[in-house]
């Protein structure tokens, strides 16, 4: 089994290879799902927003445009290749920032963001509890998290998960709604809602409670 550094390096290599084609039209359904997920967050001008596992930065640019670049809009990804393209894509767009970072050790101050999005990357995190601890640390009190991913609420998705795990070392696992609730609670986040965007893709929304 890979250790933490090997797993992170494996993920970085995988997504570096995919970076050049990630913006092709055939992947447009990812953008549609990101827009749907964003609709569950309270976005407002002047806020700090983070897309965790941002890829080439589509959601960061979308939110920056929607809020007229009033605020600060961040993307973090483990792949330097993805971040390089994200920076190029956002050239000239004010207040957008992209960093290479592991979700389990984020380079942001405590109580920094009002909203965090994470779409279709949570199943790659080797230590999801640590990633959620980091999210809880960097969210402001009252701030929201929206995680969107395939959700293992059915035996079919559980079987698919087993097959993907056997085939892709970068994949850790898909989680059930009950597991998301438990992980949120353990990280000090209040579970707000879980609902399907496009089955079996589900959003899981949590909030950092005010002190």
pLDDT score recorded for residue 125: 97
**Average pLDDT of the segment spanning 29-36:** 95
**Average pLDDT of the segment spanning 193-205:** 96
User: pLDDT tens, 160-182?
Assistant: 999 999 999 999 999 999 999 99
The domain tally of the chain equals 1
- Torsion over CA of 185, 190, 193 and 196, rounded to 10 degrees? -50
Dihedral sign (CA 75, 80, 86, 87):
positive
pLDDT band at 210 (very low <50, low <70, confident <90, very high): confident
pTM of the model: 0.96
Residue 1 reports pLDDT greater than 50: no
CB 56 within 8 A of CB 89: yes
User: pLDDT tens, 118-139?
Assistant: 999 999 999 999 999 999 999 9
Residue 43 reports pLDDT greater than 80: yes
- Count Cβ atoms within 10 A of the Cβ of residue 167 and give its class: 0-12 exposed, 13-18 middle, 19 or more buried: exposed
Residue 88 reports pLDDT greater than 70: yes
Return the bridge partners of 166, or none.
Answer: none
CB 59 within 8 A of CB 34: yes
pLDDT score recorded for residue 150: 97
Sheet strands side by side (includes 201-208): 96-100, 71-77, 47-52, 113-119, 139-150, 201-208, 189-198
The mean of the pLDDT values for the chain is 96
Domain span at residue 122 reads 4-208
Q: What percent of the chain has pLDDT over 90?
A: 95
Residue 45 reports pLDDT greater than 60: yes
**Average pLDDT of the segment spanning 108-113:** 98
CATH number assigned to the domain comprising residue 85: 3.40.50.150
Do the strands 139-150 and 189-198 form a parallel or antiparallel pair, or are they unpaired?
unpaired
Return the bridge partners of 194, or none.
Answer: 204
């Amino acid at each position: 089994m890979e250790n933490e550094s090997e797993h992170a390096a494996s993920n970085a290599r995988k997504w570096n290879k995919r970076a050049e084609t990630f913006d092709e039209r055939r992947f447009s359904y990812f953008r549609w799902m990101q827009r749907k997920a964003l609709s569950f967050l309270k976005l407002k001008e002047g806020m700090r927003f983070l897309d965790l596992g941002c890829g080439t930065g589509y959601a960061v640019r979308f939110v920056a445009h929607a809020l007229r670049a009033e605020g600060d809009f961040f993307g973090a990804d483990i792949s330097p290749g993805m971040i390089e393209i994200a920076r190029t894509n956002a050239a000239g767009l004010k207040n957008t920032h992209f960093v290479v970072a592991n979700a389990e050790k984020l380079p942001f101050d405590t109580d920094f963001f009002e909203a965090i999005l994470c779409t279709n990357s949570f199943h790659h995190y080797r230590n999801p509890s640590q990633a959620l601890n980091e999210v809880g640390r960097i969210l402001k009190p009252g701030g929201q998290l929206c995680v969107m991913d395939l959700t293992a609420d059915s035996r079919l998705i559980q079987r698919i998960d087993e097959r993907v795990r056997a085939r892709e070392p970068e994949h850790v696992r898909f989680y059930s709604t009950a597991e998301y609730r438990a992980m949120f609670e353990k990280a000090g986040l209040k579970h707000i809602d879980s609902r399907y965007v496009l089955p079996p893709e589900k959003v899981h929304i949590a909030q950092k409670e005010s002190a």
